[in-house]
Structure 1
């Protein structure tokens, strides 16, 4: 204990004899500590940011509005469908009317059946007995039956489709209207149909419709004539007309457009409301049903 006490007295004596050196050492230590902390703070701001993980960089794919340009709701003429060999004779008349490519479900398509009906099916769903929608592209679909896969595109047409008869040279019935007409009931149309007789299949074969967009909404379909356009002229229509409604039912969706062919074929008369050069007009046709 005596030695410890002696060592403490010697230390205090040494510090008291050199107070400047002790103070300088403490200051140097404090400056070094502040420098270290300042460097760490600066590194927080200048250090490169870590790369964003793949999960954080997921972006939403933009809406493909060009699908409206590729949608064809009416029949076309051409060669035999490529489905004839793979899908059998019953599927020769299959037609592709519209596609919705991409999406978490793989997409969907509107396909016309041999009996004239149109169905909307998704990837993996059955089109008809044994025939399944395999995939959907931007302007085509592939279908499979058993182990065989075939491709169907917009330009294909039903095999052996009969050529529609020429339209009669009857005068058209057309009158302007200032507002939307009241829906025409099926009973009223059947009771007193007026207007020229136009074959629905020929009318659809000569018409190509492109949706007219108003923001994100469809406000009618712009008509473009295909072929000689005789059936369109007989119905009082021409290229550039915007078809707004048929028998009072607004054309404001692709689903409604896909039903149009069946509606025309199933009624004896149809009132078509359209816009031409900013003016709303109507024309009435008889389908001969």
Structure 2
């Protein structure tokens, strides 16, 4: 019986040994390829993980750096004391003898406290719901505006502001400081020759005292200096007839400067009582305007109106 070998029937077919060698090569080559593929996936996974960690860190830093959001508080209700409300327009500076606007009774009448013996002069008071303020000349001849609680001098503080006075605290002792009475100064501060000549003029009509037409009110300008502002004392027509405008700042009287010394300005205004005419300079809209006041002409005009 003849035995045939398959490899001999197919001369072009590989031998069994060749096939085994190829299979062995393929099997031995596959683990290396798998290792190369796995390394790529691992590297990509590492990149993705690093990116995720970086994103978490950035988010954490932003959260820590941002302000904590808290619910907004309800608006605070303002509570005013019974004596703190002021109804209607109020003349900011109250001067002795001047009208008092509609103010609470607490502001109109200060407590009965002994007058201070300190060398202080109260020139004006400012009334508001925050406690008010006062213009006070201290012993160094300087005028300043003091608010409630401010130190006026060593050991002296402003405790309370009223319409006609202030209460100061002097080393724990409360004392009163009243406004200067400008009406008395106008009546008694005029020179004797001016008072003697006030009873006659060319037309037989006595000139109207300037105190009855003009009110000099203290006013603090833009640089904090106290100036005298001229206001009508009720008769706006007569005030305008003098050539004045409401709010003119007094600069000089008879070419004598009164802008730097508040007391000197008050005294100069008081000395005008009984004069028939006077030349003054006022500051109006940033310009100095000289005005000659014809008091006799104004008196005649008022007499004719009556």
Give the shorter-chain TM-score range: 0.3 to 0.5
Q: Which has the larger radius of gyration?
A: 2
TM-score (norm. length: structure 2):
0.42
Q: Which has the higher helix share?
A: 2
